[in-house]
Structure 1
Amino acid sequence: MKVLVPVKRVIDYNVKVRVKADSSGVDLANVKMSMNPFDEIAVEEAIRLKEKGTASEVVAVSIGVKQAQETLRTALAMGADRAILINAADDVHTDIEPLAVAKLLAKVVEEEQPGLVLCGKQAIDNDMNATGQMLSALLGWSQATFASEVEIEGERAKVTREVDGGLQTVSVNLPSIISVDLRLNEPRYASLPNIMKAKKKPLDEKTPADYGVDVSPRLTVVETKEPSERAAGIKVGSVDELVEKLKEAGAV
């Protein structure tokens, strides 16, 4: 079974995000970029399936700017077999919208014929949490979201999902789209020998025109703002005073 893993290049999660002075978006100048953490977990799970003998090949795919090659090389160094980069933007500030990404991934799926698509539940830059669901709808495949455990059982996948207030276990027919959550696994570090080997692994470059997909934006960012600062608290001298303050604030 072939496993397809979409990965996205995002601002490293350790970096403090800065908003541009004109509020037109996030400042990406001289900012460290890396693989979306949820996608990294998906890559790790795909590699583990291959190590178990369940998967025969792991293919990583990224849609965005040319610099996403670095992200794909990371996936290859972790253990993916080959990669596909779809050059869909020239400006690093251009974010390809989920529907366009899903349409491109659907074309890649038709071409590659994987038995499973493992993807992160969302990207940490826009928090859309939509691409996996849209891809499932476009393909007519089963889906399981927010996976914290995945077991392949013949022609079905048993998935434990993280839901409000607990866990839910579902069984879906393959082929399927599974989006993964943080607690699924701990991604491995790419060793230096594997990083060197990754440079020789195949990385194909495509464009949206190759798949006949229009990636023109349908959304416009009106304004980007920093979160408002939290107001300072106050100290009270007694429980009675606390109750009085809460009454004044309308909290009780």
Structure 2
Amino acid sequence: MTKIVVAVKYVPDATADRKFESDDTVDRENVDGLLSELDEYAVEQALQIVEEGEGEVTVLTVGPDDAADAVRKALQMGADAGVHVNDEAIAGSDAIATSLVLAKAIEKLEYDLVMFGMASTDGSMGIVPTLVAERLGLPAVTYGSEITVDGSTVTIRRDGDAASETVTAEGKVVVSVTDQTGEPRYPSFKGIMAAKKKPVDEWSLADLGVDAAQVGLDASGTQVESTAPRPPRTAGEIVTDEGDGGTKLAEFLASKKFI
């Protein structure tokens, strides 16, 4: 029986009007959010693995109250249970602090395999899976375009610009998968209704034994000095073609150093 923990993130909707807080962190309270699209691929692969054999999928997220929506979406897709680490002290945490919280939460769970998406759609760093693997003392098998599990053996295909690699690991392992692994499923009506009865635990930092001084904005190794709103879009230039449209277009492109 394969027990899989999938770490997912609640991110601001990329199509929403995103803003920054007074401390130059992203405003996550006053903007619509959703389960990170890239994490859906990890949920999908985890579900396929247990469907081919026997197992359970637990989704884990770290975030504010609204982050429960990310867990709920994964449960609707077919995951069996959820864990939501929710503590005000976590706000503003960088990747290193986030990896600490995730690792401590994973240690409280039974698992054979830990899965991530390749990156979050808001931070796009892609380093958290490796950081968590280091904290757990496990091998990290990352950026898999294809994943297979045979007993205690995990194999991925990693596609690069010039070649593809096959990487294999034994025993417990941390895996990240790309958006080339196959389209995530849409929650069915049956799945949506079933998700309402699935268990979701909410843990605080105290439950994990994590000191609040180890997380949050003050513990971050980096600081954002300033932010500025995106400038409004300006009207485009209309070129009337009077037989010299091609020349005018070439001159415009040349002036912008596109050609």
Q: Which residue of 1 aligns with 2:206?
A: 209
Mapped to 1, the partners of 2:208 and 2:141 lie a distance apart of 26
After superposition, the Cα gap between the structure-2 partners of 1:215 and 1:171, relative to the gap in structure 1 and judged at 3 Å, is same
After superposition, the Cα gap between the structure-2 partners of 1:27 and 1:99, relative to the gap in structure 1 and judged at 3 Å, is closer
* Structure 1 residue 237 corresponds to structure 2 residue 247: yes
Contact 1:83/1:203, CA 8 A, preserved across alignment: yes
**1:200, distance to aligned residue in structure 2 (A):** 1.1
Contact 1:64/1:95, CA 8 A, preserved across alignment: no
Contact 2:25/2:92, CA 8 A, preserved across alignment: no
* Structure 1 residue 224 corresponds to structure 2 residue 227: yes
Contact 1:17/1:27, CA 8 A, preserved across alignment: no
Mapped to 1, the partners of 2:41 and 2:28 lie a distance apart of 24
**Where do 5+ consecutive residues of structure 2 fail to align?**
240-244
After superposition, the Cα gap between the structure-2 partners of 1:168 and 1:211, relative to the gap in structure 1 and judged at 3 Å, is same
81-90 vs 225-234, which moves further: 225-234
Mapped to 2, the partners of 1:250 and 1:186 lie a distance apart of 39
Q: What TM-score do you get using the length of structure 2 for normalisation?
A: 0.81
Contact 2:12/2:18, CA 8 A, preserved across alignment: no
Mapped to 2, the partners of 1:95 and 1:167 lie a distance apart of 37
Mapped to 1, the partners of 2:166 and 2:232 lie a distance apart of 40
Question: 1:140-197: CA deviations, max 9, x gaps?
Answer: 2111111110011232211011323342221122211111111111111111221121
Number of aligned residues: 244
Aligned AA (2:104): K
Mapped to 2, the partners of 1:83 and 1:56 lie a distance apart of 15
State, as a whole percentage, how many aligned pairs show the same letter: 31
After superposition, the Cα gap between the structure-2 partners of 1:12 and 1:166, relative to the gap in structure 1 and judged at 3 Å, is farther
Q: Which residue of 2 aligns with 1:35?
A: 35
* Structure 1 residue 169 corresponds to structure 2 residue 159: no
Q: Which residue of 2 aligns with 1:44?
A: 44
**Where do 1:1-252 residues align within 5 Å?**
1-13=2-14, 15-20=15-20, 24-26=24-26, 28=28, 31-53=31-53, 55-89=54-88, 94-213=91-210, 214-217=214-217, 218=220, 219-225=222-228, 237=247
Q: What TM-score do you get using the length of structure 1 for normalisation?
A: 0.83
